[in-house]
Amino acid sequence: MISLLIHAILGVLTTTWVLRKNRHLFARGWSSGRPTPVEWAFWSVAIASVILGWYFNVRYQYWSHAPSWPDYISKLFTNWAADSASQDYIFANVVLFPLWIIMDGRRRGIRVPWGFFVMSLFTSFGFAMGSYLAVVERQVRYTRDQDAAVRYEQATP
């Protein structure tokens, strides 16, 4: 139970840290700052993912005969269907996700994009990915808004 509590605390801290580093996207005062339906969808899926993941993790912690990291990992590979899903998840979360968010995040101007990978280690892959996509949605609108403001100032004598 202690490891779940530590993961929960680290999940909240990493999420807070990443969002604070990108707080300019959540500040009032820019014209497109209101969440869009797409952004709401990303946040909804992210929250549902972390809630469902934690539900199963708590169940595992309470009802497993020997809850431990080696036991947890071995249970990921209990049959061919689980093997397939688990290897896919591991490659997506541990290899592709960090490469993608670091490259894409830097191009888009997102601050500490690698923080979303760190977040995924303590929350859930779905939560980190949904959060990243919601922040990207916001960053795209923010950049467009800032570019429009610069063009307006340049056109005004």
Residue 156 vs residue 70, higher pLDDT: 70
- Name which of 130, 4, 135, 134 is nearest 62 in CA terms: 4
Our count of domains for the chain comes to 1
Cβ proximity of 134 and 37 under 8 Å: no
**φ/ψ (deg, to 5) at 112:** 45, 60
pLDDT, position 3: 83
Give the pLDDT band (50/70/90) at residue 149: low
Written in H, E and C, the secondary structure of the chain is CHHHHHHHHHHHHHHHHHHHHCHHHCCCCCCCCCCCHHHHHHHHHHHHHHHHHHHHHHHHHHHCCCCCHHHHHHHHCCCHHHHHHHHHHHHHHHHHHHHHHHHHHHHHCCCCCCHHHHHHHHCCHHHHHHHHHHHHHHHHHHHHHHHHHHHHHHHCC
**pTM, full prediction:** 0.90
On the question of pLDDT at 74 being above 70, the answer is yes
Q: What is the pLDDT of residue 65?
A: 81
Work out the mean pLDDT of the chain and round it to a whole number: 91
What is the average per-residue pLDDT within 70-84?
92
Residue range of the domain that includes 108: 2-155
Whether 32 shows a pLDDT value over 80: the answer reads no
Q: What is the distance between the alpha carbons of residues 66 and 44, in angstroms, rounded to a whole number?
A: 33
Q: What would you report as the CA-atom Rg of the chain, rounded to the nearest whole angstrom?
A: 19
3-10: average pLDDT: 91
Residue 154 pLDDT greater than 80, yes or no: no
Nearest to 123 by CA among 93, 101, 102: 93
The pLDDT value recorded for residue 13 is: 97
- In the chain, the percentage of residues whose pLDDT exceeds 70 is 97
Q: Which of 21-25, 67-71, 150-154 is least confident?
A: 150-154
Q: What is the mean pLDDT of residues 152-157?
A: 74
pLDDT tens-place string over residues 92-123: 999 999 999 999 999 999 999 999 999 999 99
